[in-house]
Amino acid sequence: MTILVTGGAGYIGSHICVELLQHGYEVVVVDNLSNSSFESIKRVKAITGKDMKFYQIDILEQEKLDLVFSENTIEGVIHLAGLKVVGESVQNPLQYYKNNLIGTLVLCEVMDKYNVKKMVFSSSATVYGIPKKVPISEDFSLGATNPYGRTKLMVEEVLRDYYISNHNWSIVILRYFNPIGAHPSGKIGEDPSGIPNNLMPYVTQVAVGKLKELTVFGNDYPTVDGTGVRDYIHIVDLAKGHMKALEKTMTSKGIEVYNLGTGIGYSVLEIIAAFEKVSGRKIPYKFAERRAGDIAICYANPLKAKIDLGWIAKRGIEEMCADSWNWQSKNMNGYS
C-alpha cells in the first residue's frame, strides 16, 4: 500500500517515513525543501534499509502534484507540508495563508480527482488558543491567536466541510502538543534554520556551544516554578500515532480529531534539569520577559486517542532529552 507524505523531508515527516517503511508501506514523499534538506531522505533510507520515492515539488503546483498521483497508486495521504513559525506568520500572513491553506485545497482537489479519500492532517494544540483549563480535551472551544494557528483552524474547518459534502472521505486530524526528541539512531532530528524559536533546539544548541545561553521567557507564570508548562512528546511516539491514525482511515469513514500528547506538563526549568542530567552539560540561562502570545500551561488529555486508536505516548522526558542530545551532538550543524 502506497502512502504519500507531504512535507516528508521535515522534522516530523522524516520520522513518520521511518515508521511507514518499517510497517511495510510504500512511501512517496513530496516536499519543496523550503525548510528541510534531501539529506533527511537519504538518512531515512539508511535507517530502514528501504527505498522510497521523492519528488521535490511545491504542493501549490497542481500540475506537478497531479503527475505524482498519476505515476503512483496512492491510497492515503499524510499531510504535513506547511510553514510553522508563529512570529513569521505574524510578519507575513499572506505567505502562510497561501502555503498552508491554498496548498491544502490544491492537495484535496488532486486527491479527489484520483479518488484518494484517506487523509491524516497535522494540526496543532495551538488551535485551542488560550485554554480555560487543563488538561485540554478535543471538545474544548477553539481559537487562534496568530495567522499560523488560524491556518490550522481553517484547514480543520475546510476538511470538515469537505467530509460533509462527501461521506466517502476518511479524515483524521491530529493536534500535536510539543514534539521533541529524535530517532534513537541519531541520524534524523530537528534541524531548524537560523536561531531556533522552540525550546528544545535552543537548549541543544546551547549544549553544543553554538549559542551562549538560553533565555527563559517569563518566571512569573502561575506554575510550579513560574516558567511556562508544556506537554512535550517524543517524536517517535508522535510518528507512531500517525500509524494508528492511518489505520483508522483504512477501516472507517468519517472525520475525527485526536490530541497527540502525553498528558503530562513540564516547566522550562524542569526541561533544563532533565536535559542537564542526561547530557552531563550545563545549560546557562537567564530570565527575560514573557514571550508575546505565550500561555502559562498547556497539556493534553490524550484519552480519546488511547480509547479510539489504541495509542499512548510511551517515552518519558529523560528519553526525549537524551535523544535530542544524541542527535545534536552527532550532528553539530544539523544536516548541513
Residues that bind ligand NAD (CB under 6 A): 7, 9-13, 30-36, 58-60, 80-84, 99, 103, 122, 124, 176, 178-179
Among the candidate windows 57-65, 131-139, 211-219, 249-257, which touches ligand UD1 by CB under 6 A?
Answer: 211-219
Q: Is 287 in the site for ligand UD1 (CB under 6 A)?
A: no
Q: Which does 86 bind (CB under 5 to 8 A by kind): ligand NAD, ligand UD1, none?
A: ligand UD1
Q: Which does 170 bind (CB under 5 to 8 A by kind): ligand UD1, ligand NAD, none?
A: none
Q: What b/e readout covers 178-215, taking b as 16+ CB neighbours within 10 angstroms?
A: bbbbbbeebbbbbbbeeebebbbbbbbbbbeeebeebe
Q: Please name the amino acid found at residue 94.
A: L
Q: Which does 182 bind (CB under 5 to 8 A by kind): ligand NAD, ligand UD1, none?
A: none
Cα 301 to its chain centre, rounded Å, is: 18
Applying CB under 6 A, which of residues 34, 215, 250, 318 lies at the interface with ligand UD1? 215
Rounded least distance, CB 67 to ligand NAD, Å:
14
From the candidates 148, 176, 232, 299, give the one annotated as an active-site residue: 148
Pick the closer one to ligand UD1 by CB: 16 or 47: 16
Among the candidate windows 15-23, 25-33, 242-250, 289-297, which touches ligand UD1 by CB under 6 A?
Answer: 289-297
Rounded least distance, CB 286 to ligand UD1, Å:
10
Among positions 69-128, residues that touch ligand UD1 (CB under 6 A) are 84, 86, 124, 126
Rounded least distance, CB 171 to ligand NAD, Å:
15
Q: Measured between alpha carbons, how far is 159 from 79 in angstroms, rounded to an integer?
A: 12
Q: Is 150 in the site for ligand UD1 (CB under 6 A)?
A: no
Cis check: omega of the bond before 135, within 30 degrees of 0: yes
Among the candidate windows 41-49, 156-164, 198-206, 318-326, which touches ligand UD1 by CB under 6 A?
Answer: 198-206
Q: Which does 326 bind (CB under 5 to 8 A by kind): ligand NAD, ligand UD1, none?
A: none
- In this structure, the number of other CB atoms found within 10 A of the CB of residue 53 comes to 16
Among the candidate windows 39-47, 102-110, 213-221, 323-331, which touches ligand UD1 by CB under 6 A?
Answer: 213-221
Judge whether 285 counts as a catalytic residue.
no
HSE, CB side, 13 Å, CA atoms: give it for residue 317: 19
Residues 186 and 330: beta-carbon distance below 8 Å: yes
Residue 15: which of 125, 261, 254, 180 has the closest Cα? 180
Q: Which does 34 bind (CB under 5 to 8 A by kind): ligand NAD, ligand UD1, none?
A: ligand NAD
* CA distances from residue 180 to 69, 163, 177, 286 in whole angstroms, order as listed: 32, 32, 10, 22
Among positions 227-266, residues that touch ligand UD1 (CB under 6 A) are 228, 230
Binding-residue pattern over the window 21 to 40 for ligand UD1, x denoting contact by CB under 6 A:
--------------------
Applying CB under 6 A, which of residues 69, 202, 258, 311 lies at the interface with ligand UD1? 202
Residues annotated as catalytic are: 148
Binding site for ligand UD1 (CB under 6 A): 84, 86, 124, 126, 149, 178, 197-199, 202, 214-217, 228, 230, 268, 291, 293-294
